């Protein structure tokens, strides 16, 4: 059986700088995989390759065995990928409920003609309410993004990703900017969202929470693959400890 997401031999260059070099990674359905590495390791670049925001110099990305390397971002999203960005990007002119409803109706907007002949939004608004409830911010449904704190916007990012009904959610530092209590709460929420139909790839610097909730870890350093496997085994790898934690000896 093929992996849900398969990244094969991906290399990304920005001018003369190699940001990601010959990286391969497979993720199965129902997995929660943490991606860690020091600053500048190329984690976000790898995620942007998966979402299609960056074109790889070399290598392929496949979803459910289908090569999506040349697909546009929106097509990937409509086919099962969702992205939660490091810097939250709510649509400021929309309420939180409308932000999520828009994501929920992404299949209605697969083509402009299809979008033109459909007007009903009730179903999507109801579903959006459920997703906001799931992430714990339903009380702020009618608020605008400028009226709520960062923690709510992080949850909104997650609710929007869920509303796309993806098979794989890519989360880029969802815990950044949150205090430890909020981070723990958010990490628990992320962990609870993984099920037999949905996987999550989590890029995060908060090592404590990543180790706590992720059964598997992928480690990258200076754009190169370092290790991938069960969390306990990866964290016991001397190379990982040296790269990530700066230990000279085990």
Cβ within 8 Å of residue 193, ≥6 positions away: 158, 162, 169, 200
Residues 209, 85, 160, 194, CA torsion sign? negative
**Length reported for the chain:** 250
Q: Is 75 in the site for another protein (CB under 8 A)?
A: yes
CB of 249 to another protein, least distance (A): 43
Q: At closest approach, how far in Å is the CB of 212 from another protein?
A: 28
Part in contact with another protein (CB under 8 A); list of ranges 5-13, 97-105, 193-201, 219-227: 97-105
Q: Which is nearer to another protein, 104 or 231 (CB)?
A: 104
Of the residues 6, 44, 45, 85, which one makes contact with another protein according to CB under 8 A:
85
Q: Which of 112, 149, 181, 248 binds another protein (CB under 8 A)?
A: 112
Closest distance to another protein from the beta carbon of 91 (Å): 5
Residue 146 sits in the site that holds another protein (CB under 8 A): no
Site residues for another protein, 52-71, by CB under 8 A, read: 53
3-state secondary structure of 173: coil
Whole-number Cα distances in Å, 46 to 1, 7, 10, 120, 151: 24, 9, 8, 38, 25
Specify the residue, 88 or 140, whose C-beta has the smaller distance to another protein.
Answer: 88
The beta strands (E) that lie in the chain are given as 5-14, 17-27, 32-36, 58-63, 66-67, 81-84, 168-172, 199-203, 216-221, 224-230
Could you list the residues that contact another protein (CB under 8 A)?
51, 53, 72-75, 77-78, 83, 85, 89-94, 102-103, 105-112, 114-119, 121, 160, 164
């Amino acid at each position: 059986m093929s992996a849900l997401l398969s990244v094969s031999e991906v290399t990304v260059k920005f001018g003369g700088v190699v940001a990601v070099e010959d990286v391969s990674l497979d993720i199965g359905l129902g997995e929660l995989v943490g991606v860690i590495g020091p600053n500048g390791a190329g984690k976000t670049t790898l995620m942007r390759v998966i979402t299609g925001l960056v074109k790889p110099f070399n290598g392929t990305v496949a979803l459910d065995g289908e090569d999506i390397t040349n697909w546009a971002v929106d097509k990937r999203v409509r086919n099962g990928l969702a992205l939660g960005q490091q810097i939250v990007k709510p649509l400021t002119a929309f309420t939180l409920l409308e932000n999520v409803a828009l994501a929920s109706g992404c299949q209605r907007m697969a083509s402009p003609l299809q979008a033109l002949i459909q007007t009903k939004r009730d179903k999507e608004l109801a579903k959006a309410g459920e997703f906001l409830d799931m992430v714990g911010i339903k009380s702020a449904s009618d608020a605008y993004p400028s009226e709520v704190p960062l923690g709510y916007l992080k949850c909104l990012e997650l609710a929007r990703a869920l509303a796309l009904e993806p098979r794989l959610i890519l989360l880029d530092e969802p815990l950044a900017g949150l205090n430890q209590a909020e981070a723990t709460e958010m990490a628990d929420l992320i962990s609870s969202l993984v099920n037999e139909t949905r996987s999550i790839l989590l890029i995060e610097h908060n090592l404590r929470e990543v180790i706590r909730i992720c059964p598997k870890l992928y480690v990258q350093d200076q754009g190169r693959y370092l290790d991938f496997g069960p969390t306990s085994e990866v964290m016991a790898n001397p190379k990982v400890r040296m790269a990530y934690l700066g230990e000279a000896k085990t």
